Structure 1
Amino acid sequence: MRTEIYDHFHPDERDYVDRASEWISHAGANHRQKLTDFLDPRQQYILETLAAKEDKVTIRVDGGYEASERKRALIAPDYSYLDNEDMGIQVLAISSDDHKIATLGHGDYLGAMLGLGIKRGKIGDIHVLDDGCHILVASEISDFITLHLQQVHRVHVWTELLPPESLRTKEVTLELLNLSVASLRLDGIASDVYKLSRSKILAPIRAGRCRVNWKVEENPSASLKAGDVISIQGFGRFKVIETDGMTKKGRFRVKIGKFA
Protein backbone atom coordinates (compact mmCIF):
# COMPACT_ATOMS: atom_id res chain seq x y z
CA MET A 1 0.00 0.00 0.00
CA ARG A 2 2.82 2.44 0.91
CA THR A 3 4.50 1.73 -2.44
CA GLU A 4 1.30 2.65 -4.25
CA ILE A 5 1.18 5.95 -2.37
CA TYR A 6 4.82 6.70 -3.25
CA ASP A 7 4.06 6.23 -6.94
CA HIS A 8 2.11 9.50 -6.92
CA PHE A 9 4.89 11.65 -5.44
CA HIS A 10 8.50 12.61 -6.08
CA PRO A 11 11.12 10.48 -4.23
CA ASP A 12 12.26 13.58 -2.32
CA GLU A 13 8.75 13.86 -0.88
CA ARG A 14 8.67 10.39 0.66
CA ASP A 15 9.77 11.48 4.14
CA TYR A 16 7.01 14.07 4.23
CA VAL A 17 4.47 11.56 2.87
CA ASP A 18 5.43 9.19 5.70
CA ARG A 19 5.01 11.90 8.35
CA ALA A 20 1.72 13.14 6.92
CA SER A 21 0.39 9.59 6.77
CA GLU A 22 1.28 9.09 10.44
CA TRP A 23 -0.45 12.33 11.45
CA ILE A 24 -3.62 11.22 9.71
CA SER A 25 -3.47 7.67 11.07
CA HIS A 26 -2.93 8.81 14.66
CA ALA A 27 -5.67 11.42 14.51
CA GLY A 28 -8.19 8.84 13.36
CA ALA A 29 -7.08 5.91 15.52
CA ASN A 30 -6.20 7.77 18.73
CA HIS A 31 -8.86 10.50 18.55
CA ARG A 32 -6.28 13.23 18.91
CA GLN A 33 -5.71 16.49 17.09
CA LYS A 34 -2.46 17.31 15.30
CA LEU A 35 -1.43 20.90 14.49
CA THR A 36 1.29 21.02 11.85
CA ASP A 37 3.93 23.62 11.14
CA PHE A 38 3.38 25.99 8.23
CA LEU A 39 3.16 24.00 5.00
CA ASP A 40 3.86 25.20 1.49
CA PRO A 41 1.13 24.67 -1.14
CA ARG A 42 2.64 21.39 -2.33
CA GLN A 43 2.75 19.99 1.21
CA GLN A 44 -0.85 21.11 1.74
CA TYR A 45 -1.88 19.29 -1.43
CA ILE A 46 -0.13 16.08 -0.34
CA LEU A 47 -1.72 16.20 3.11
CA GLU A 48 -5.21 16.84 1.74
CA THR A 49 -4.77 14.08 -0.87
CA LEU A 50 -3.80 11.55 1.81
CA ALA A 51 -6.58 12.70 4.16
CA ALA A 52 -9.18 12.29 1.41
CA LYS A 53 -8.44 8.56 1.46
CA GLU A 54 -9.16 8.34 5.19
CA ASP A 55 -12.80 8.73 6.27
CA LYS A 56 -12.00 9.02 9.98
CA VAL A 57 -10.37 12.46 9.89
CA THR A 58 -11.16 16.04 8.99
CA ILE A 59 -8.72 18.83 8.20
CA ARG A 60 -8.62 22.60 8.47
CA VAL A 61 -5.86 24.68 6.86
CA ASP A 62 -5.24 28.30 7.79
CA GLY A 63 -2.35 30.70 7.28
CA GLY A 64 -3.65 33.62 9.31
CA TYR A 65 -5.48 35.36 6.45
CA GLU A 66 -7.54 34.29 3.47
CA ALA A 67 -4.96 34.69 0.70
CA SER A 68 -2.04 33.10 2.58
CA GLU A 69 0.39 30.87 0.71
CA ARG A 70 1.90 29.02 3.67
CA LYS A 71 -0.66 27.49 6.06
CA ARG A 72 -0.85 25.38 9.19
CA ALA A 73 -3.08 22.32 9.11
CA LEU A 74 -5.18 20.99 11.96
CA ILE A 75 -5.93 17.28 11.60
CA ALA A 76 -8.65 15.83 13.84
CA PRO A 77 -11.14 12.96 14.15
CA ASP A 78 -13.99 13.28 11.66
CA TYR A 79 -16.56 14.26 14.31
CA SER A 80 -14.59 17.37 15.29
CA TYR A 81 -15.77 20.92 14.60
CA LEU A 82 -12.66 22.93 13.76
CA ASP A 83 -13.92 26.37 12.72
CA ASN A 84 -13.30 27.92 16.13
CA GLU A 85 -10.11 26.06 16.98
CA ASP A 86 -6.96 28.07 17.71
CA MET A 87 -4.51 27.60 14.83
CA GLY A 88 -1.56 28.89 16.83
CA ILE A 89 -0.72 31.83 14.56
CA GLN A 90 0.43 35.31 15.53
CA VAL A 91 1.70 38.34 13.65
CA LEU A 92 5.26 39.42 14.38
CA ALA A 93 5.43 43.16 13.67
CA ILE A 94 8.98 44.43 13.06
CA SER A 95 9.79 48.15 13.06
CA SER A 96 12.74 50.50 13.51
CA ASP A 97 13.61 54.19 13.71
CA ASP A 98 16.47 53.53 11.27
CA HIS A 99 15.55 54.76 7.79
CA LYS A 100 17.53 51.85 6.32
CA ILE A 101 14.64 49.56 7.21
CA ALA A 102 13.04 50.68 3.96
CA THR A 103 15.85 48.95 2.05
CA LEU A 104 15.31 45.51 3.63
CA GLY A 105 13.74 42.73 1.62
CA HIS A 106 12.06 39.37 2.10
CA GLY A 107 15.38 37.52 2.24
CA ASP A 108 16.76 39.82 4.91
CA TYR A 109 13.86 39.16 7.27
CA LEU A 110 13.77 35.43 6.59
CA GLY A 111 17.52 35.19 7.04
CA ALA A 112 17.35 37.00 10.38
CA MET A 113 14.69 34.58 11.62
CA LEU A 114 16.55 31.48 10.46
CA GLY A 115 19.71 32.90 11.99
CA LEU A 116 18.07 32.54 15.40
CA GLY A 117 17.86 28.79 14.81
CA ILE A 118 14.15 28.87 13.97
CA LYS A 119 12.97 26.24 11.52
CA ARG A 120 11.34 27.44 8.28
CA GLY A 121 8.19 25.54 9.18
CA LYS A 122 7.54 27.89 12.11
CA ILE A 123 7.37 30.87 9.75
CA GLY A 124 4.40 31.66 7.54
CA ASP A 125 4.00 34.40 4.93
CA ILE A 126 6.26 37.44 5.12
CA HIS A 127 4.92 40.88 4.19
CA VAL A 128 7.61 43.51 3.67
CA LEU A 129 6.15 46.98 4.32
CA ASP A 130 7.54 50.45 3.71
CA ASP A 131 8.11 50.94 7.45
CA GLY A 132 8.97 47.40 8.53
CA CYS A 133 7.55 43.93 8.17
CA HIS A 134 4.65 41.74 9.31
CA ILE A 135 5.41 38.03 9.55
CA LEU A 136 3.00 35.19 10.40
CA VAL A 137 4.67 32.96 12.98
CA ALA A 138 3.78 29.90 15.05
CA SER A 139 2.60 30.98 18.50
CA GLU A 140 4.82 28.45 20.26
CA ILE A 141 7.99 30.28 19.22
CA SER A 142 6.70 33.85 19.16
CA ASP A 143 8.00 34.82 22.62
CA PHE A 144 11.43 33.45 21.73
CA ILE A 145 11.53 35.64 18.63
CA THR A 146 10.55 38.83 20.43
CA LEU A 147 13.23 38.14 23.04
CA HIS A 148 16.07 37.47 20.60
CA LEU A 149 15.33 39.28 17.31
CA GLN A 150 17.05 42.64 17.68
CA GLN A 151 18.69 43.12 14.31
CA VAL A 152 17.88 42.49 10.66
CA HIS A 153 20.83 42.85 8.27
CA ARG A 154 22.61 45.32 10.60
CA VAL A 155 19.43 47.35 11.18
CA HIS A 156 18.37 47.46 14.82
CA VAL A 157 14.67 46.59 15.15
CA TRP A 158 11.82 46.32 17.64
CA THR A 159 9.24 43.56 17.64
CA GLU A 160 5.64 43.29 18.76
CA LEU A 161 3.16 40.41 18.71
CA LEU A 162 -0.27 41.05 17.22
CA PRO A 163 -3.36 38.91 16.49
CA PRO A 164 -3.85 37.74 12.88
CA GLU A 165 -6.64 40.25 12.31
CA SER A 166 -4.07 43.06 12.77
CA LEU A 167 -1.95 41.80 9.86
CA ARG A 168 -0.90 44.39 7.30
CA THR A 169 -0.34 42.87 3.89
CA LYS A 170 1.39 44.19 0.83
CA GLU A 171 0.56 43.01 -2.64
CA VAL A 172 3.41 41.11 -4.24
CA THR A 173 5.12 43.17 -6.93
CA LEU A 174 6.38 41.40 -10.02
CA GLU A 175 8.96 42.57 -12.51
CA LEU A 176 7.30 41.95 -15.86
CA LEU A 177 9.35 40.41 -18.64
CA ASN A 178 8.18 39.84 -22.21
CA LEU A 179 10.22 37.03 -23.69
CA SER A 180 10.49 35.41 -27.08
CA VAL A 181 11.62 31.80 -26.62
CA ALA A 182 12.26 28.88 -28.92
CA SER A 183 10.12 26.54 -26.80
CA LEU A 184 8.27 26.41 -23.48
CA ARG A 185 10.96 24.20 -21.93
CA LEU A 186 11.88 24.89 -18.33
CA ASP A 187 15.60 25.32 -19.02
CA GLY A 188 15.06 27.68 -21.93
CA ILE A 189 12.68 30.02 -20.13
CA ALA A 190 14.65 29.93 -16.86
CA SER A 191 17.92 30.78 -18.61
CA ASP A 192 16.27 33.87 -20.16
CA VAL A 193 14.66 34.95 -16.89
CA TYR A 194 17.88 34.68 -14.88
CA LYS A 195 20.10 35.81 -17.79
CA LEU A 196 22.24 32.69 -17.62
CA SER A 197 23.43 30.33 -20.32
CA ARG A 198 21.38 27.19 -20.67
CA SER A 199 24.36 25.09 -19.58
CA LYS A 200 24.59 27.00 -16.28
CA ILE A 201 20.88 26.61 -15.56
CA LEU A 202 21.01 22.83 -16.11
CA ALA A 203 23.11 22.12 -13.00
CA PRO A 204 20.66 23.36 -10.33
CA ILE A 205 17.70 21.77 -12.12
CA ARG A 206 19.36 18.36 -12.36
CA ALA A 207 20.56 18.68 -8.76
CA GLY A 208 16.96 18.89 -7.53
CA ARG A 209 17.13 22.60 -6.64
CA CYS A 210 14.25 23.56 -8.93
CA ARG A 211 10.57 23.46 -8.04
CA VAL A 212 7.59 23.94 -10.33
CA ASN A 213 4.45 24.70 -8.36
CA TRP A 214 6.41 23.72 -5.23
CA LYS A 215 7.13 20.24 -6.61
CA VAL A 216 10.72 19.18 -7.34
CA GLU A 217 11.35 19.18 -11.09
CA GLU A 218 14.61 17.66 -12.33
CA ASN A 219 13.71 17.44 -16.01
CA PRO A 220 15.13 20.47 -17.89
CA SER A 221 12.84 19.77 -20.85
CA ALA A 222 9.65 19.91 -18.77
CA SER A 223 7.09 22.13 -20.49
CA LEU A 224 5.78 25.20 -18.65
CA LYS A 225 2.32 26.72 -18.95
CA ALA A 226 0.50 29.85 -17.83
CA GLY A 227 0.08 29.95 -14.05
CA ASP A 228 3.16 27.89 -13.22
CA VAL A 229 5.35 29.20 -10.39
CA ILE A 230 9.02 28.29 -10.71
CA SER A 231 11.71 28.64 -8.06
CA ILE A 232 15.38 27.73 -8.31
CA GLN A 233 17.36 27.77 -5.11
CA GLY A 234 19.79 30.66 -5.11
CA PHE A 235 18.14 32.44 -8.05
CA GLY A 236 14.63 33.38 -6.88
CA ARG A 237 11.11 32.80 -8.16
CA PHE A 238 9.13 33.67 -11.24
CA LYS A 239 5.66 33.01 -12.60
CA VAL A 240 4.52 32.30 -16.14
CA ILE A 241 1.74 34.86 -16.47
CA GLU A 242 0.68 33.99 -20.00
CA THR A 243 1.79 32.48 -23.28
CA ASP A 244 0.69 34.77 -26.07
CA GLY A 245 0.96 33.01 -29.40
CA MET A 246 3.98 32.90 -31.69
CA THR A 247 6.13 35.34 -33.60
CA LYS A 248 6.53 35.29 -37.38
CA LYS A 249 9.79 33.44 -36.82
CA GLY A 250 8.03 30.65 -34.95
CA ARG A 251 9.10 31.61 -31.43
CA PHE A 252 6.79 31.61 -28.43
CA ARG A 253 5.76 34.88 -26.79
CA VAL A 254 5.78 34.50 -23.03
CA LYS A 255 4.95 37.02 -20.30
CA ILE A 256 6.86 36.40 -17.07
CA GLY A 257 6.44 37.92 -13.62
CA LYS A 258 9.69 37.86 -11.63
CA PHE A 259 9.29 38.10 -7.87
CA ALA A 260 11.21 40.97 -6.30
Structure 2
Amino acid sequence: MGGKEAWFRHFRPEERVLAERVLDWMTLAEVRYQPVLTPFLNPREQRVATMVINRSTDLSATADGGYEGAERCRMKVLPPYVEDADHGLAYLSLEPAERGRDLRHPDVLGSLLGLGLKRDKLGDILPFPGGCHVVVAEELAEFIRSQLNRIGRHPVHVETIQREELIVPETRTETVSVSVASLRLDAVLAEGFRLSRSRVSTAVKNGNAQINWKTTGNPAETVEEGDVLSLRGSGRIQVGEKLGVSKKGRFLLNLIRSL
Protein backbone atom coordinates (compact mmCIF):
# COMPACT_ATOMS: atom_id res chain seq x y z
CA MET A 1 0.00 0.00 0.00
CA GLY A 2 2.95 2.30 -0.74
CA GLY A 3 2.42 5.80 -1.96
CA LYS A 4 -0.67 6.13 0.20
CA GLU A 5 -0.58 9.90 0.49
CA ALA A 6 -0.27 10.40 -3.27
CA TRP A 7 -3.07 7.94 -3.92
CA PHE A 8 -5.35 9.53 -1.31
CA ARG A 9 -5.33 12.76 -3.31
CA HIS A 10 -8.01 11.11 -5.46
CA PHE A 11 -10.42 11.52 -2.53
CA ARG A 12 -12.05 14.56 -1.02
CA PRO A 13 -10.77 15.46 2.46
CA GLU A 14 -13.73 13.88 4.25
CA GLU A 15 -13.32 10.72 2.16
CA ARG A 16 -9.70 10.32 3.23
CA VAL A 17 -10.88 9.77 6.81
CA LEU A 18 -13.00 6.86 5.60
CA ALA A 19 -10.15 5.52 3.46
CA GLU A 20 -7.97 5.40 6.58
CA ARG A 21 -10.70 3.44 8.38
CA VAL A 22 -10.89 1.00 5.48
CA LEU A 23 -7.14 0.42 5.74
CA ASP A 24 -7.64 -0.39 9.43
CA TRP A 25 -10.40 -2.89 8.55
CA MET A 26 -8.12 -4.47 5.96
CA THR A 27 -5.26 -4.79 8.44
CA LEU A 28 -7.61 -6.41 10.96
CA ALA A 29 -8.84 -8.91 8.37
CA GLU A 30 -5.26 -9.77 7.42
CA VAL A 31 -3.95 -10.11 10.98
CA ARG A 32 -6.86 -12.14 12.36
CA TYR A 33 -7.62 -13.90 9.09
CA GLN A 34 -11.30 -13.33 9.79
CA PRO A 35 -14.02 -11.33 8.01
CA VAL A 36 -14.47 -7.75 9.22
CA LEU A 37 -17.98 -6.29 9.12
CA THR A 38 -18.33 -2.55 8.53
CA PRO A 39 -21.07 -0.14 9.64
CA PHE A 40 -23.70 0.84 7.09
CA LEU A 41 -22.12 2.87 4.30
CA ASN A 42 -23.82 5.11 1.78
CA PRO A 43 -23.12 4.52 -1.94
CA ARG A 44 -20.24 6.98 -2.11
CA GLU A 45 -18.64 5.47 0.99
CA GLN A 46 -19.06 2.00 -0.51
CA ARG A 47 -17.29 3.21 -3.65
CA VAL A 48 -14.39 4.62 -1.63
CA ALA A 49 -14.13 1.41 0.41
CA THR A 50 -14.19 -0.75 -2.71
CA MET A 51 -11.47 1.35 -4.36
CA VAL A 52 -9.21 0.95 -1.32
CA ILE A 53 -9.87 -2.77 -0.85
CA ASN A 54 -9.33 -3.48 -4.56
CA ARG A 55 -5.74 -2.29 -4.18
CA SER A 56 -5.07 -5.46 -2.22
CA THR A 57 -4.36 -8.66 -4.16
CA ASP A 58 -5.39 -10.80 -1.20
CA LEU A 59 -8.55 -9.24 0.22
CA SER A 60 -12.03 -8.92 -1.25
CA ALA A 61 -15.31 -7.39 -0.11
CA THR A 62 -19.04 -7.98 -0.34
CA ALA A 63 -21.93 -5.64 0.41
CA ASP A 64 -25.54 -6.16 1.46
CA GLY A 65 -28.32 -3.76 2.42
CA GLY A 66 -31.18 -6.21 2.73
CA TYR A 67 -32.53 -6.09 -0.83
CA GLU A 68 -31.36 -5.64 -4.39
CA GLY A 69 -30.58 -2.00 -5.07
CA ALA A 70 -30.31 -1.00 -1.41
CA GLU A 71 -28.72 2.40 -0.90
CA ARG A 72 -27.07 1.89 2.49
CA CYS A 73 -25.16 -1.38 2.88
CA ARG A 74 -22.86 -3.11 5.33
CA MET A 75 -19.68 -4.34 3.72
CA LYS A 76 -17.60 -7.32 4.76
CA VAL A 77 -13.85 -7.41 4.21
CA LEU A 78 -12.81 -11.00 3.46
CA PRO A 79 -9.39 -12.69 3.71
CA PRO A 80 -8.35 -15.08 0.91
CA TYR A 81 -10.50 -18.21 0.45
CA VAL A 82 -12.99 -17.09 3.11
CA GLU A 83 -16.68 -16.83 2.30
CA ASP A 84 -19.28 -15.38 4.68
CA ALA A 85 -22.68 -14.24 3.45
CA ASP A 86 -23.94 -12.94 6.81
CA HIS A 87 -23.81 -9.15 6.89
CA GLY A 88 -25.43 -8.73 10.30
CA LEU A 89 -28.77 -7.33 9.13
CA ALA A 90 -32.18 -7.31 10.80
CA TYR A 91 -35.53 -6.05 9.55
CA LEU A 92 -38.16 -4.15 11.49
CA SER A 93 -41.75 -3.28 10.64
CA LEU A 94 -43.21 -0.07 12.09
CA GLU A 95 -46.99 0.26 12.11
CA PRO A 96 -48.82 3.36 13.40
CA ALA A 97 -51.30 2.69 16.17
CA GLU A 98 -53.70 5.12 14.48
CA ARG A 99 -55.26 3.91 11.26
CA GLY A 100 -54.75 6.08 8.22
CA ARG A 101 -51.56 7.67 9.49
CA ASP A 102 -48.40 7.40 7.36
CA LEU A 103 -44.83 7.41 8.62
CA ARG A 104 -42.45 9.89 6.97
CA HIS A 105 -38.79 9.10 6.44
CA PRO A 106 -37.46 12.16 8.37
CA ASP A 107 -39.72 11.43 11.34
CA VAL A 108 -38.68 7.77 11.50
CA LEU A 109 -35.00 8.65 11.24
CA GLY A 110 -35.32 11.36 13.87
CA SER A 111 -37.03 9.01 16.32
CA LEU A 112 -34.40 6.31 15.81
CA LEU A 113 -31.55 8.75 16.33
CA GLY A 114 -33.42 10.01 19.40
CA LEU A 115 -32.79 6.60 20.99
CA GLY A 116 -29.09 7.44 20.95
CA LEU A 117 -28.31 5.37 17.84
CA LYS A 118 -25.69 6.37 15.30
CA ARG A 119 -26.69 6.73 11.65
CA ASP A 120 -24.17 4.10 10.61
CA LYS A 121 -26.14 1.47 12.53
CA LEU A 122 -29.21 2.11 10.38
CA GLY A 123 -29.76 0.99 6.82
CA ASP A 124 -32.49 2.06 4.44
CA ILE A 125 -35.78 3.41 5.75
CA LEU A 126 -38.63 2.28 3.50
CA PRO A 127 -41.95 4.10 4.09
CA PHE A 128 -45.12 2.85 2.42
CA PRO A 129 -48.82 3.71 2.90
CA GLY A 130 -49.73 2.78 6.46
CA GLY A 131 -46.29 1.76 7.69
CA CYS A 132 -42.54 1.61 7.29
CA HIS A 133 -39.84 -1.05 7.12
CA VAL A 134 -36.32 -0.40 8.37
CA VAL A 135 -33.07 -2.31 7.87
CA VAL A 136 -30.88 -2.14 10.99
CA ALA A 137 -27.73 -3.65 12.45
CA GLU A 138 -28.66 -7.05 13.85
CA GLU A 139 -27.00 -6.34 17.20
CA LEU A 140 -29.39 -3.42 17.84
CA ALA A 141 -32.65 -4.89 16.57
CA GLU A 142 -33.98 -6.04 19.94
CA PHE A 143 -33.05 -2.74 21.60
CA ILE A 144 -34.95 -0.80 18.94
CA ARG A 145 -37.92 -3.14 19.09
CA SER A 146 -38.23 -2.73 22.85
CA GLN A 147 -37.49 1.02 23.06
CA LEU A 148 -39.11 2.55 19.99
CA ASN A 149 -42.77 3.15 20.78
CA ARG A 150 -43.38 6.52 19.12
CA ILE A 151 -42.58 8.25 15.86
CA GLY A 152 -42.78 11.89 16.83
CA ARG A 153 -45.86 12.12 19.03
CA HIS A 154 -47.63 9.15 17.48
CA PRO A 155 -47.57 5.61 18.96
CA VAL A 156 -46.22 2.79 16.78
CA HIS A 157 -45.99 -0.98 17.00
CA VAL A 158 -42.60 -2.47 16.14
CA GLU A 159 -41.96 -6.07 15.23
CA THR A 160 -39.20 -8.10 13.60
CA ILE A 161 -39.86 -9.41 10.09
CA GLN A 162 -38.00 -11.60 7.62
CA ARG A 163 -35.90 -10.33 4.75
CA GLU A 164 -38.39 -11.54 2.14
CA GLU A 165 -41.16 -9.52 3.80
CA LEU A 166 -39.52 -6.15 3.09
CA ILE A 167 -41.68 -3.79 1.07
CA VAL A 168 -39.45 -1.73 -1.22
CA PRO A 169 -41.08 1.37 -2.74
CA GLU A 170 -40.62 1.81 -6.48
CA THR A 171 -37.96 4.36 -7.40
CA ARG A 172 -38.65 6.54 -10.44
CA THR A 173 -36.25 8.98 -12.08
CA GLU A 174 -36.04 11.26 -15.08
CA THR A 175 -32.98 12.58 -16.90
CA VAL A 176 -32.93 16.19 -18.04
CA SER A 177 -30.27 18.08 -19.98
CA VAL A 178 -29.47 21.53 -18.58
CA SER A 179 -26.97 24.33 -18.98
CA VAL A 180 -25.43 26.04 -15.95
CA ALA A 181 -23.19 29.05 -15.58
CA SER A 182 -20.76 27.04 -13.45
CA LEU A 183 -20.41 23.70 -11.69
CA ARG A 184 -20.93 25.32 -8.30
CA LEU A 185 -23.32 23.48 -6.01
CA ASP A 186 -25.81 26.35 -5.82
CA ALA A 187 -25.90 26.77 -9.61
CA VAL A 188 -26.56 23.07 -10.26
CA LEU A 189 -29.17 22.76 -7.49
CA ALA A 190 -30.97 25.88 -8.69
CA GLU A 191 -31.20 24.54 -12.23
CA GLY A 192 -32.07 21.03 -11.10
CA PHE A 193 -34.95 22.12 -8.89
CA ARG A 194 -35.91 25.22 -10.89
CA LEU A 195 -35.32 27.57 -7.98
CA SER A 196 -33.61 30.94 -7.78
CA ARG A 197 -29.89 30.72 -7.16
CA SER A 198 -30.09 33.17 -4.25
CA ARG A 199 -32.70 31.02 -2.53
CA VAL A 200 -30.59 27.90 -3.00
CA SER A 201 -27.44 29.66 -1.81
CA THR A 202 -29.18 30.69 1.42
CA ALA A 203 -30.48 27.14 1.95
CA VAL A 204 -26.98 25.71 1.49
CA LYS A 205 -25.46 28.18 3.95
CA ASN A 206 -28.15 27.16 6.45
CA GLY A 207 -27.01 23.52 6.25
CA ASN A 208 -29.91 22.25 4.14
CA ALA A 209 -27.89 20.68 1.32
CA GLN A 210 -25.75 17.58 0.95
CA ILE A 211 -23.19 16.29 -1.52
CA ASN A 212 -22.89 12.51 -1.46
CA TRP A 213 -24.82 12.34 1.81
CA LYS A 214 -22.45 14.82 3.48
CA THR A 215 -23.88 18.15 4.67
CA THR A 216 -22.11 21.18 3.25
CA GLY A 217 -22.53 24.87 3.96
CA ASN A 218 -20.50 26.00 0.95
CA PRO A 219 -22.60 27.11 -2.05
CA ALA A 220 -19.41 27.44 -4.14
CA GLU A 221 -18.34 23.81 -3.72
CA THR A 222 -17.67 22.24 -7.11
CA VAL A 223 -19.71 19.20 -8.10
CA GLU A 224 -18.52 16.32 -10.27
CA GLU A 225 -20.01 13.59 -12.44
CA GLY A 226 -21.69 10.96 -10.28
CA ASP A 227 -22.21 13.26 -7.29
CA VAL A 228 -25.56 12.89 -5.55
CA LEU A 229 -26.97 16.25 -4.43
CA SER A 230 -29.91 16.84 -2.13
CA LEU A 231 -31.74 19.93 -0.96
CA ARG A 232 -34.05 19.68 2.03
CA GLY A 233 -37.67 20.04 0.98
CA SER A 234 -36.89 19.68 -2.74
CA GLY A 235 -35.48 16.20 -3.22
CA ARG A 236 -32.41 14.63 -4.74
CA ILE A 237 -30.58 14.81 -8.06
CA GLN A 238 -27.51 13.08 -9.42
CA VAL A 239 -25.00 14.78 -11.67
CA GLY A 240 -24.90 12.75 -14.85
CA GLU A 241 -22.71 13.00 -17.92
CA LYS A 242 -21.00 16.28 -18.76
CA LEU A 243 -21.98 17.13 -22.34
CA GLY A 244 -19.48 19.90 -22.98
CA VAL A 245 -19.44 23.70 -22.95
CA SER A 246 -21.68 25.97 -25.01
CA LYS A 247 -20.44 28.81 -27.21
CA LYS A 248 -21.41 31.17 -24.40
CA GLY A 249 -19.25 29.28 -21.91
CA ARG A 250 -22.09 27.53 -20.07
CA PHE A 251 -21.64 23.95 -18.89
CA LEU A 252 -23.97 21.39 -20.46
CA LEU A 253 -24.77 18.28 -18.43
CA ASN A 254 -27.39 15.70 -17.65
CA LEU A 255 -29.14 15.64 -14.28
CA ILE A 256 -30.92 12.54 -13.00
CA ARG A 257 -33.84 13.64 -10.87
CA SER A 258 -35.78 11.46 -8.44
CA LEU A 259 -39.55 11.68 -8.92
TM bin (shorter chain): 0.7 to 0.9
Task: Deviation per CA, 1:68-114: give whole Å up to 9, x if none.
Answer: 111111112111023xx321111110002313522x31111111111
- Over residues 100-157 of structure 1, what are the superposed CA-to-partner deviations in whole Å (9 max), with x where a residue is unaligned? 522x311111111111111101111111110100111110000010011111121110
**Aligned-residue identity in percent:** 30
Tell me the CA shift for residue 202 of structure 1: 6.9
| SS class of match (1:99) | coil
Range 117-126 or range 177-186, more displaced: 177-186
C-alpha distance in 2 between matches for 1:20 and 1:142: 25
CA distance 1:2–1:153, change in 2 (3 Å): same
* Aligned pairs for 1:13-162 within 5 A: 13-82=15-84, 85-99=85-99, 101-102=101-102, 104-162=103-161
Structure 1 residues 134 and 2: alpha-carbon distance in aligned structure 2, compared to 1, 3 A threshold? same
- The one-letter code of the counterpart of 2:236 is R
Distance 1:8 1:250 in 2: 27
Q: Secondary structure at the match of 1:101?
A: coil
Q: Does the Cα contact within 8 Å between 1:106 and 1:127 map onto a contact in 2?
A: yes
The Cα RMSD (Å) is 3.7
What CA distance in whole angstroms lies between the structure 2 residues aligned with 1:199 and 1:96?
A: 36
Higher mean C-alpha deviation, range 24-33 or range 250-259? 250-259
Q: Which residue identity is paired with 2:23?
A: S
Q: How many residues align?
A: 253
1:162 to partner: Cα distance: 1.4
| One-letter code aligned to 1:201 | S
SS at match of 1:165: helix
Contact 1:212 1:229 (C-alpha < 8 Å) held by counterparts? yes
Deviation at 1:198, TM superposition (A): 3.4
Kept after mapping to 1: 8 A contact 2:175/2:255: yes
Q: Which whole-Å CA distance do the structure 2 matches of 1:182 and 1:80 have between them?
A: 49
Gaps of 5+ in 1: none
Change in 2 beyond 3 A, CA 1:213/1:28: same
**Aligned residues of 2:36 and 2:78 also touching (Cα < 8 A):** yes
Rounded to whole Å, the distance in 1 between the matches of 2:243 and 2:6 is 39
Question: 2:49 is matched by which residue type in structure 1?
Answer: L
**Correspondent of 2:6 among 4, 7, 10:** 4
More divergent stretch after superposition (176-185 vs 150-159): 176-185
Q: Deviations over 1:160-209 (max 9, x none)?
A: 111212211111356x7978654463422312427343375178379895
C-alpha distance in 1 between matches for 2:176 and 2:50: 36
Task: Return 5+ residue gaps in structure 2 as ranges.
Answer: none
Post-superposition CA distance 1:26-51 (Å, at most 9, x none) = 20132122111111111111111111
Q: Secondary structure at the match of 1:37?
A: strand
Q: With structure 2 as the length reference, what TM-score do the two structures score? A: 0.80
Cα–Cα, structure 1 residues 6 and 116, in superposed 2: closer, same or farther, change >3 Å? same
Q: In the aligned structure 2, how far is the partner of 1:224 from the partner of 1:22?
A: 28
1:54/1:255 Cα in 2 relative to 1: closer, same or farther (>3 Å)?
A: closer
Aligned AA for 2:20?
D
Report deviation, 1:58: 2.0
User: Is 2:205–2:217's contact at 8 Å kept on the other side of the alignment?
Assistant: yes
2:153, 2:100 → 1: CA distance?
Answer: 9
Conserved 8 A contact 2:59-2:79? yes
Partner secondary structure for residue 101 of structure 2: helix
